Chains A and B, each alone.
Chain A
Amino acid sequence: MQTFRFAGARLPAEAEAARADVRAFLAKDREIGGWEPHRTTWTSFDAAFSARAGAAGFIATGFPEAYGGKGAPMLVRFAIAEEMLAAGAPCGAHWVAERQSGPQILRHGSARAKAEILPRIAAGDCFFGIGMSEPGSGSDLAAVRTRAVRDGDGWRINGAKIWTSNAHRAHYLIALVRTGDAGASRHAGLTQFVIDLSAPGVTTRPIHDLAGNHEFNEVFFDDFFVPDDMRVGGEGDGWSMVTAELAFERAGPDRYLSDIRLLVSLIDEIGAEPDRMEAAEIGRMTAHLAALRRMSASVSSMLDEGASPVTQAALVKDVGTGFERMVPETARRIRRTEPGPDAPGDYAQSLAETVLRAPSFTLRGGTQEILRGMIARGLGLR
């Protein structure tokens, strides 16, 4: 009767308990670590922060205890993640490992991969990059050309990946590579491997973003050897695994909270007595935020129950990243502060950071146009 339902998410008591704990941890850690929330986001790489968060038990709570986790429901991780984002904690080092690589290895990895890697992810000292995009294959992920060929008890990989965040300081990638023919569907013949970035045969080249940050890299494989027990999932299962992985990646709080600290800082910049226009725009953004939090929690809840809300997840990311793009533009309309990386005051700096990062919000993890194509499919238009 309704096109898409977002049933109410009831976060279990343990999620609310974890929320209180992580709030207390972050308040203290901000002093210890000296991080500045208005300058940091979930992509800020801070290995020391991740190590402290891991030691305090806030990373990979969903892993079984044998692998360093707590066997907690997914909604516990949801509560911890959204609190870290809302606090502006620099979670970039462990983010990908915890959000998607670890869960993939847990579900589909070999005994060795699980034993060697998962406890380190939970401890906050093992970081991952995403090896999906290639120079010739961005939105069209099925066009992957990097190839793995059987060689004894493993595989030889040749090719290149691009837009790999943190490849120069992460320990591993999970790479999607071609091991067979694409077939009529174009989705066959793809397999995922854990790539040890310290092994010979893999090199990285930095790509600086428009603000001068070095986060992206191009990664080259030159007869790179990967043992078969670092294969994740079956040969040829790569496409379906990546599709499932992206559903998890899409609906999380990182898809609408990327610039929450700008909003916080904007509210403080305005002060307790806003004029009519300031009040209305803050109110409008608050309403967007509330709807998104509800949608995101609802999808996490559905995933927790084993459902596969692919279209709802795409909707969260499309609407959420659209909101992220709206925040700095709205801020500019109501305050006349010029953004400046070195300007005095949190607000001007936060606005500078956000304006320069904003283009990535609607690109990473699937462009807004690709997502809308998926939503259109869900609506029955394709």
Chain B
Amino acid sequence: MMDAPDIAPDAEDLGAVVAEQAARLFERRVDRDTLAAADRGEWQAELWAAVEEAGLPLALLDEDAGGVGLPPVAAFGLIRLAARHAAPVPLGETMVAAALWGAPLEGPATLAPGTAPDGHGRLARLAFGRDAAQALVHAGGSRAALIPLAGRRLVHDRSLANEPRDALELSGLPADAIREVPGLGPDGFAPHGALIRAAQMSGAMDRALEMAVAYANEREQFGRPIAKFQAIQQMLAEAAGHVAAASAIVDMAAEAWGTEDFDFAAGLAKSRTGEAAGRVSAIVHQVHAAMGFTQEHGLHFLTRRLWSWREEFGAESWWEERIGRRICAAGGEALWPAIVDVTAAGARA
């Protein structure tokens, strides 16, 4: 370490600096060729090396534990940023796994959906499972295990975006691989994964909306840019409303990171963002028309991810049912106080 500065850098300023670096990194490193190669199942080792070198996977981990310790909104902001470029690497998974495990991790990591009680059972849909160095697995209760994946046989599968989603068979774990993780509950990493995917959807929708606006301003029909037609304006304004709501609720849930409201907040974010993803992808495709439906055009790198991400770590209706049961059990008069509390959870933290 260098000499400690006299004054600790303001965490928000640091977040802005890291975000700027990350934006440049993804701008430079993720292009059509990267995405097409990833689509063929090729691991983007150089991209991952750059992401690691920039320290992005350490963003959410406390400084004391060897991380960067960004405010959670800024850390999830980096996940959003990566998704704007459809970056085909498990940045969110690795960042969150490190923060939960409480230590920097070697190489890319993945976060297993589901539970393997005491390290037994089959875990499916591990994002980038075949490429990841290790997987964080929910071992039941508030216990998690960090499992090296090198040499393990994974059953390959893929998402709608052709990202690896592989299955892992576990038959027991050494006791020293298991650790108590504060805040981890019976749902395992569902809330954490939900917020990763919500942040990704927020970023991908933002970029897809930008592309649709740019396209509407360029594309001429009937002698003028289609942006001049009210029908197009109204559709894109509706999409902007969904993008705005998604962005707001992702920040809300990120602020609740580490608080007792986190699971609830993450579920709300996944629900609202997943619904938005359906509408926004429909609208941006409608605006791009047949061209956007081709392999040649880049829009599908974003929209196929939106369609896969909205399913993962609990689709909208899965979360909505849980949220609804909780709200109904508490009764009508408890609705508003619950909304006030969860939307300001970060302010109380």
Most chain B beta carbons < 10 A, residue from A2, A272, A322: A2
Q: Which residues of A contact B80 (CB under 8 A)?
A: 2
Given contacts A284-B316, A372-B233, contact A270 B328 (CB under 8 A): yes
B329 contacts partner chain A, Cβ-Cβ < 8 Å: yes
Given contacts A315-B241, A372-B233, contact A298 B327 (CB under 8 A): no
Q: Which of B23, B206, B245, B344 contacts A295 (CB 8 A)?
A: B245
Interface string of A17-28 (1 = CB under 8 A from B): 001000000000
Report chain B residues within 8 Å CB of A260: 335-336
> Is A286 touching B227 in the complex (CB atoms < 8 A)?
no
B327→A373 contact, CB < 8 A: no
Give the complex CA separation of A2 and B251 in angstroms: 13
The minimal Cβ–Cβ distance linking B188 to chain A, given in whole angstroms, is: 20
Main secondary structure on B side of the interface with A = helix
Q: Judge whether A381 and B216 touch: CB under 8 Å.
A: yes
- B327 contacts A286, CB within 8 Å? yes
Q: Taking the nearest CB of chain B, how far is it from the CB of A320, in angstroms?
A: 9
- Cβ of A344 < 8 Å from any Cβ of B? no
Interface size class of A (residues with CB under 8 A): 35 or more
Q: Are A372 and B234 touching (Cβ within 8 A)?
A: yes
- A122–B332 Cα distance when bound, in Å, is 32
Tell whether, in the assembled complex, residue B268 and residue A286 are in contact, meaning their CB atoms are under 8 Å apart.
yes
List CB contacts (< 8 Å) of A274-321 with chain B. 274, 276, 278-284, 286-295, 297-298, 312, 315, 318-319
Chain A residues whose CB sits within 8 angstroms of the CB of B19 once the complex forms: 1
Kindly state the separation between the CA atoms of A369 and B238 in the bound complex, as whole angstroms. Answer: 10
Let me know if B11 is at the binding interface, CB within 8 A: no
- Chain B interface size range: 35 or more
Q: How far does the alpha carbon of A5 sit from the alpha carbon of B333 in the complex, in Å? A: 31
B344 touches A381 (CB 8 A): no
A286 touching B335 by the CB < 8 A rule? yes
Residue contact B245 to A291, C-beta cutoff 8 Å: yes
B236 at the interface (CB under 8 A from A): yes
Q: Indicate which residue in B216, B243, B268 contacts A290 across the interface (CB closer than 8 Å).
A: B268
Chain B residue contacts of A270, Cβ below 8 A: 328
- A267-B328, A281-B324, A373-B233 as given contacts; A3 in contact with B73, CB under 8 Å: no
Chain B residue with minimal CB distance to A267?
B332
In B209-260, which residues have CB < 8 Å from any A CB? Answer: 209-210, 213, 216-217, 227-228, 230, 232-234, 236-238, 240-249, 251-252, 255
Whether B328 lies near A279 (C-beta < 8 A) is yes
Which residues on the A side are within 8 Å of B247 (C-beta)? 2, 4-6
How long is the Cα–Cα vector from A319 to B217 in the complex, in angstroms?
24
Among candidates B84, B255, B332, residue contacting A264 with C-beta atoms closer than 8 Å:
B332
Could you mark each residue 310-336 of chain B with 1 if its beta carbon is under 8 Å from any beta carbon of chain A, else 0?
000000110111111101110111011
A283 is contacted by which of B210, B327, B333 (Cβ under 8 Å)?
B327
Name the B residues within 8 Å of A294 (CB-CB).
248-249, 251-252, 343
B271: chain A residues within 8 A (beta carbon): 283-284, 287
- CB of B313 to closest CB in A, whole Å: 15
* Chain A residues numbered 341-382 whose CB sits less than 8 Å from any CB in chain B: 369, 371-373, 375-376, 378-382
Among A279, A291, A380, the most chain B Cβ lie within 10 Å of the Cβ of A291
Contacting pair B320 A279 (CB below 8 A): yes
**Contacts A5-B247, A293-B340, A294-B251; A274 near B347 (Cβ below 8 A):** no
Interface contact A318-B237, CB-CB below 8 Å: yes
Q: Chain A CB within 10 Å — which of B213, B217, B344 has the most?
A: B344
* Residue B342, interface by CB 8 Å: yes
Q: Which of A4, A11, A82 meets B347, CB within 8 Å?
A: A11
Complex CA–CA separation, A295 to B323 (angstroms): 20
User: Which residue of B is nearest A369, CB measured?
Assistant: B234
Q: Is A265 part of the contact surface with B, judged by Cβ < 8 Å?
A: yes
Are A282 and B324 within 8 A (Cβ)? yes
Contacts of B325 in A (CB 8 A): 274, 279, 283
How far does the alpha carbon of A281 sit from the alpha carbon of B240 in the complex, in Å?
A: 23
B321 touches A293 (CB 8 A): no
Contact (Cβ within 8 A) A283 B240: no
Task: Select which of B81, B230, B241, B317 is within 8 A of A280 by beta carbon.
Answer: B317
**Contact in complex: B243, A382 (CB < 8 Å):** no
Contact of A6 among B232, B244, B269, B327 (CB under 8 A): B244
The interface residues of chain B lying within 8 Å CB-to-CB of A322 are 241
Neighbouring A residues of B255 by C-beta, 8 Å = 8
Instruction: Flag if B249 contacts A287 (CB, 8 Å).
Output: yes
* Chain B nearest CB, measured from A234 CB (Å): 33
Tell me whether B323 and A268 are in contact (CB under 8 A): no
Residues of A within 8 A of B233 (CB): 372-373, 376, 381-382
Instruction: List 17 A-B pairs, Cβ < 8 Å.
Output: A1-B81, A3-B206, A3-B210, A8-B346, A10-B344, A265-B332, A271-B328, A283-B325, A284-B324, A287-B275, A287-B320, A290-B339, A292-B245, A293-B339, A295-B244, A298-B248, A372-B237
New contact pairs (8) apart from A288-B272, A380-B217, CB-CB < 8 Å: A6-B248, A11-B344, A273-B329, A278-B324, A279-B324, A284-B324, A291-B268, A381-B227
> Ordered nearest first, which 10 A-B pairs have the shortest CB separation?
A283-B320, A279-B324, A283-B323, A283-B324, A372-B237, A376-B233, A264-B332, A282-B324, A375-B237, A287-B271
